[in-house]
Structure formats: structure tokens, C-alpha cells
Amino acid sequence: MNKKNLKMKTVGIEHLDQYNKLLRYVFQVTENDLHQVGWEDKEIKKMKYPTLKKAYVLGWFDGENLVSQVATYPMKVRIFNKTFDMGGITGVGTYPEYSNQGLMHKLLYQALLDMKARKQYISYLYPYSVPYYRDKGWELINDKIVYEINDYQLPKRQPVTGDVRRIDISSNMLKQTYQKYAMQTHGALLRDELAWNEYWLWDNEDIIAAIYYNENDEPDGYVIYWIAEEVFYVKDMIYMNEEARIGLWNFIGAHFSMISKVIGNTFTDEPLAFLLEDADIKETISPYYMARIVDVERFISEFPFKPDTTERRWHFALKDPLLPWNEGYFVLDISREGTGTLTKTTEKSNDTISIQTLTTMLLGYKRPDYLNKIGRIHCSDETLDMLEDAIEQKTPYFSDYF
């Protein structure tokens, strides 16, 4: 290896084999893993073709050999009922013999610089190492709760006005149901074909979907699941209202004679136990996705703060470990209508916050008062009260994986 031979450049379709080979090596995807989901190596390359075609992929090349890479998916997310362009980071990997040379640091910086130019003012990623990405400016924004319910603990059937129908997972109605849900749900991804492709990527062929239709024959929720060895596995369940939730659990309960337990995932901050008559179930919570603000001034200008009867102001110092344009002293002004304006200033302030903390606070995962108590925000009580009032109290829902 000669460092002089290392060059950063775009990874194109012509590098598909190398892109796939590096992914499989770094994430330890074996032939057995592919076999378990009914795949062959040629099929994963076929599935990754549209990804590589649409995503922005940067890599380090040693001569003609791809040795380090990062991909950015162009995506959209809903943040407090407003749509934001988002850069989804994935495919991050470096061959071990090229590690500890700062290659990934430079790739991530360039990827964020490119996001800024494309007006993707926020970025999401799934962290294979939370400390590593925290060090680069990302922070946790939501959790994944895995629950386990014995068959005798399933909720009793309740009357609803609608009904549940099983459908093919490729159905447009499934996509329409999710779109309806995502548009009214904070933090959710607005899935295009690329996102749906990634959503199904590692599922086996036994996956099934069932939609709850209300009395007007409109879709109000769905459950995506499979059944194996007397276990009902829930990949995801969404619902627009309480009746849809009850209807979907009625459907799951109808499998009582076929199953011994239900094991599922939920991606909200609402533990399932409280909703069950027998609440003595097993629930395991773990951090899921991370995000970071890419361009703080532009993000604030689009962020929907809560309206108030008075204008609000905060003067503070912001720290960002990677992006110099997010570093320095700023003045945040929030209008009565909830429009934010962030302006750089040379005037110093004792109030401090990091880009990581600002991201998780604005997205609602952790409240300002809590972040202040654990030393992640330094400001006055009056400022804390203002921030608590200015930011909506909703935690992000995000069930995708890319």
C-alpha cells in the first residue's frame, strides 16, 4: 500500500462488484446469511444496483481498488409536520489494512459538505458504533422496543367497525397506508422506491402484510409479520387511531390456536405493557437511529417552532466536532409565528450546547430540561423554560433500516 496512490472519488455503477464486496466484508455477510433469506450473491448485487445508481457514493481508491466508502441516500423525513430533505448515511466501511489513516473522517466530512450543497440540512444513520458517530456529530433520536407476549397474555377481542385483510407486500395499498401514516407522524421517512427496497432487503420470503380498513373502507394501519415455529413475529405495526390498533391486535389474537407467543418491534416511546390487561410481559429497549444537523443556520430557518404571543431570543455557543460552519457564537430569534432565525455573532456567551445535543433536543428525543440536568446544555432557567415551550413534545418514529 502506497499512500500516494490513495485518491478520493465517486463510486459509480462500474464499481458495483467492489462496492458489494466491501459491504459484505465489513458487515460480515456470509453465503449462509444470504441463503437464509433466499438470496444468492448475484441477487444482492442486483438489489444494490438501484441504490448505487441513485445514491451519492464516495470512496477511497488505492489505484483501481476501492478500499473505503460511504453512501448518501437522498431521502425525505417529516419533522413536526414539515418535510425536510435528508441525507441517509449507509454503506460505511474500510478494509482493516487501511484503517487508522483518517480515510473515513475525510469521507464523512466530504459527504456532509455535499449534503449542505444539496440542501439536505439533516442526516440520519444507523449506528454500528454509537461512540464513533457521536464523535462525528450524530446523536440518538429514537428507540426500538422489542416485546414478547405469551399467547395467554394477548389482548381480548374488542368490537371495531372495520376489518383486517391480508395483502401482498408489493401492494400499492400498503405503500399508500404507510404514506398516510408518515405524513402525520413526526420523524418518519417518506419512502420512495429506494427506501422501500432497503426496507425489505433482509426479510425472508414468508413476510406477510395485513391492513386495517375502517368502516369507510379506508386504510388506517397495518401489521407486517411472519409466523415460524409457533411464533408470530411482528416486523412493524402502524395505526392512525385507537380503533385501528385494536383491530390489528384482534387480527393477531385470531392466531391464538396457531402460536405460543408474539415477538415484535415498536419504534415509538410507548411501551406496550400498559395497554395490556396482563402487563407482565418482556420488553427490551435499545437505541436505534441517530441524526445530525448538517447546516444549523438553514435547518433552523426551516424548523417549525411552536407559536407564542411574544418573540423569543437565545444567545449561545455551539460546538461541532466536524463542521466549521456550525461552530461559534449564535443568536437564535423565534418569531411569534414560530419561525426561527439563527445568526452568527462575535459576541461571546456563557450558554453552550453541542450539535449533537441541539439535534436530539430539536427532534424531541430528549427534552431541554433533562439535557440541562445531565450537563448537555448550559443556560439560565428562563432560557430552559423558553426552549421547553418552543419545541413540540413528540419523540421521533423511525422504523426503517438502510
Encode the chain (402 residues) as per-residue pLDDT tens digits: 566 789 999 999 999 999 989 988 888 765 555 445 444 554 555 556 677 788 999 999 999 999 999 999 999 999 999 999 999 999 999 999 999 999 999 999 999 999 999 999 999 999 999 999 999 999 999 999 999 999 999 999 999 999 999 999 999 999 999 999 999 999 999 999 989 988 998 888 899 999 999 999 999 999 999 999 999 999 999 999 999 999 999 999 999 999 999 999 999 887 788 888 899 999 999 999 999 999 999 999 999 999 999 999 999 999 999 999 999 999 999 999 999 999 999 999 999 999 999 999 999 999 999 999 999 999 999 999 999 999 999 999 999 998
Q: Which fold has domain 145-286?
A: Aminopeptidase (3.40.630)
Instruction: Please give the C-alpha separations between residue 375 and each of 33, 239, 299, 316, in angstroms, as whole numbers.
Output: 43, 37, 24, 15
Residue environment code for 341-352, b if the CB has 16+ CB neighbours within 10 A, otherwise e: ebeeeeeebebe
What does the block give as the cell for 326? Answer: 456550525
* Its pTM surpasses 0.95: no
- In the DSSP assignment, the letter for residue 171 is -
Q: 414539515: which residue's cell? A: 82
Secondary structure element (H or E) that encloses residue 297, with its range: helix 296-302
189-190 and 163-167 beta bridge pairing: unpaired
| pLDDT tens digit sequence for 13-45 | 999 999 989 988 888 765 555 445 444 554 555
Q: 388506517: which residue's cell? A: 220
User: What is the CB neighbour count within 10 angstroms for residue 191?
Assistant: 18
Query: What's the CATH code, domain 296-390?
Result: 3.30.1050.10
Q: Dmax over Cα atoms in the chain, in whole Å? A: 71
Residue environment code for 112-131, b if the CB has 16+ CB neighbours within 10 A, otherwise e: beebbeeebbbbbbbbeeee
Rounded to whole angstroms, the Cα distance separating 26 from 214 reads 46
User: What is the CB neighbour count within 10 angstroms for residue 75?
Assistant: 24
| pLDDT tens digit sequence for 343-364 | 999 999 999 999 999 999 999 9
Q: Locate CATH 3.40.630.30 in the chain.
A: 3-120, 145-286
Rounded to whole angstroms, the Cα distance separating 143 from 270 reads 10
Q: Locate CATH 3.30.1050.10 in the chain.
A: 296-390
189-190 and 143-150 beta bridge pairing: unpaired
Task: Reduce the DSSP state of residue 142 to 3 states and report it.
Answer: coil
- Specify the CATH superfamily of domain 3-120: Gcn5-related N-acetyltransferase (GNAT) (3.40.630.30)
